[in-house]
């Protein structure tokens, strides 16, 4: 199960991505927003990421104008590794190397065609583990207040 959410600026892109998910028969929960009216991105970020952190959803997809604000909010939720992507390579390797569990994109940055390609590669790329697991553990150690140095 995937959580998907946006603010007003990301709303059109979220709706396009939902069409892709429907066609690909990928199940999702839309946490909003549900109209193009002004809606603050932190609310959708927290709603979607709480579902990932709780294990109710495997991953989340979030959209705002730039993808940046919503990724910043997402990364404040414990257990979340969100990456704002606008290129294929980053979307692939944030899974392979960072074990990212949230993909963020900007409606004002990329088109729906590219966004759906990024979603596809993000959802279909496995974490490589190994030396990358050590680094991801370090990220989570920072989140838990540990000093790495």
The residue ranges that bind ligand RB5 (CB under 6 A) are: 7, 9-10, 41, 64-66, 68-69
Whichever of 63 and 100 has its CB closer to ligand RB5, that residue is 63
CA angle 113, 35, 24 (to 5 degrees): 35
Catalytic residue, from 64, 83, 85, 104: name it.
64
132 is catalytic: no
What is the C-alpha to C-alpha distance for residues 39 and 136, in angstroms, rounded to an integer? Answer: 32
Helix (H), strand (E) at residue 70:
helix 68-74
Helical packing angle, 11-23 and 112-124, nearest 10°: 50
> Within 10 A of 87 (CB to CB), how many other CB atoms are there?
11
Decide whether 45 or 116 has the Cβ nearer to ligand RB5. 45
- Annotated catalytic residue 97: yes
Residue closer to ligand RB5 by CB (options 68, 112) is: 68
Q: Which position's Cβ is nearest ligand RB5?
A: 69
Q: Which residues form the catalytic set?
A: 64, 97
């Amino acid at each position: 199960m995937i959580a998907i959410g946006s603010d007003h600026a990301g709303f059109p892109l979220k709706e396009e991505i939902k069409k892709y998910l429907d066609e690909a028969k990928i199940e999702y929960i839309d946490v909003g927003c549900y109209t193009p009216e002004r809606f603050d991105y932190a609310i959708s970020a927290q709603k979607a990421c709480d579902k990932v952190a709780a294990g109710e959803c495997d991953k989340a997809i979030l959209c705002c104008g730039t993808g940046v604000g919503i990724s910043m909010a997402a990364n404040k939720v414990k257990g979340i590794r969100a990456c704002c992507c606008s290129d294929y390579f980053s979307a692939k390797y944030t899974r392979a190397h960072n074990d990212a569990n949230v993909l963020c994109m900007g409606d004002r940055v990329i088109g729906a065609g590219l966004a759906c390609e990024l979603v596809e590669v993000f959802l279909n790329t496995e974490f490589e583990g190994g030396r990358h697991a050590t680094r991801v553990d370090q990220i989570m150690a920072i989140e838990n207040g540990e000093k790495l140095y």
